[in-house]
Structure 1
């Protein structure tokens, strides 16, 4: 149990002393970039899904007269 507590303590100490945290403006900018990319990727995935669904539906209509 002492090893676990020691590990967690050292991890927090390293986060406080050795990690370079980004500025708040940079965090906001990257958050917006990630949000926009996520929306664009979701819309692209939805579009491909809709196109594939229509192609498959058309194929089955063609098979069944």
Structure 2
């Protein structure tokens, strides 16, 4: 019964005490998050490719020595 009471109170608090942003602001911030997510993914991919090529070159160099 305590869990049901907790969930009920949580929903009531969300309904009465929470200030929700305007729909336009939600859309704008969603676009900002999406753009930064893509940029971060591209940066991570670039660092991964750089490290992979560096290690491959290093091991190829070791094989020839």
What TM-score results when the alignment is normalised by the length of structure 1? 0.96
How far the C-alpha of 1:39 sits from its partner, in A, is 0.2
Is the counterpart of residue 35 in structure 1 residue 44 in structure 2? no
User: 1:64: which partner in 2?
Assistant: 63
Superposition deviation, residue 61 in structure 1: 0.7
Partner secondary structure for residue 40 of structure 1: helix
Q: How many residues in Structure 1 have an aligned counterpart in Structure 2?
A: 64
Deviations 1:6-28 (A, max 9, x none): 11110000000000000000000
Q: Give the CA deviation at 1:31.
A: 0.1
SS at match of 1:64: helix
User: Which stretches of structure 1, 4 residues or more, deviate above 6 A after TM superposition?
Assistant: none
Q: Give the structure-2-normalised TM-score.
A: 0.96
Q: Report what 1:17 is aligned to.
A: 16
Q: Distance in 2 between matches of 1:5 and 1:46?
A: 45
